[in-house]
Amino acid sequence: MVIAFSIPVPGKLEIGTCHPGGESWKKFEFCGDYYSICHVGYADESFCCSLSNGMLGAFNIKQQEWKLLWNLQSELSPLVNDSYVFVLNGDHIVGGSNPSSLPYPLWRLDLLERKLVVVENEIIEKQVIFRGRASSLSFSVPAEGNARESAGKIIFFFL
């Protein structure tokens, strides 16, 4: 499946899906306080998005449902300015604008319980996190082989 997120005009979030071999897109539209999408991560049938207004939302592909999950500005002050989302071991992880070295708090999203759980440093120290500065792309890789020397670090890149 291909999925596209866009905000064609302020206040309107559009999500489009298209299956391989499909000839058309299925569109979903949601109105709210939307201005731009900062980061997107995919795991377990859901895309989680951090938005420029400090909100965190999720689109469940199977249920075709969009939910605003958290207001990061009011609930998690370390994530106010520049939160980002990536996937680690099948879980959505949210981080904030902190120094490029770990440890510092990263949170795992528990979508069923609608809560955030601090990720243990031992898990993060076995990863290298790549964080996009000019794009909404962030991801992690195991700190193995040549990446071992960068274990537990966040590496910023521009696209």
Mean pLDDT of the chain: 77
- Are 127 and 151 spatial neighbours (Cβ–Cβ below 8 Å)? yes
Confidence of residue 146 (pLDDT cuts 50, 70, 90): confident
Q: What is the pLDDT of residues 3-22, one digit of tens each?
A: 888 899 999 999 998 888 88
Q: Where are the beta strands (DSSP E) in 19-152?
A: 26-31, 37-43, 46-51, 55-60, 65-71, 84-88, 91-95, 107-110, 115-118, 127-132, 138-142
Provide the whole-model pTM.
0.67
Residue-range domain boundaries for the chain? 2-157
Structure tokens at 11: 């206040």
Rounded Cα–Cα distance for residues 60 and 64 (Å): 5
Please name which of 16, 65, 7 lies closest in space to residue 36, comparing C-alpha atoms.
7
2-157 topology per CATH = Lipocalin (2.40.128)
Structure tokens at 74: 């009011």
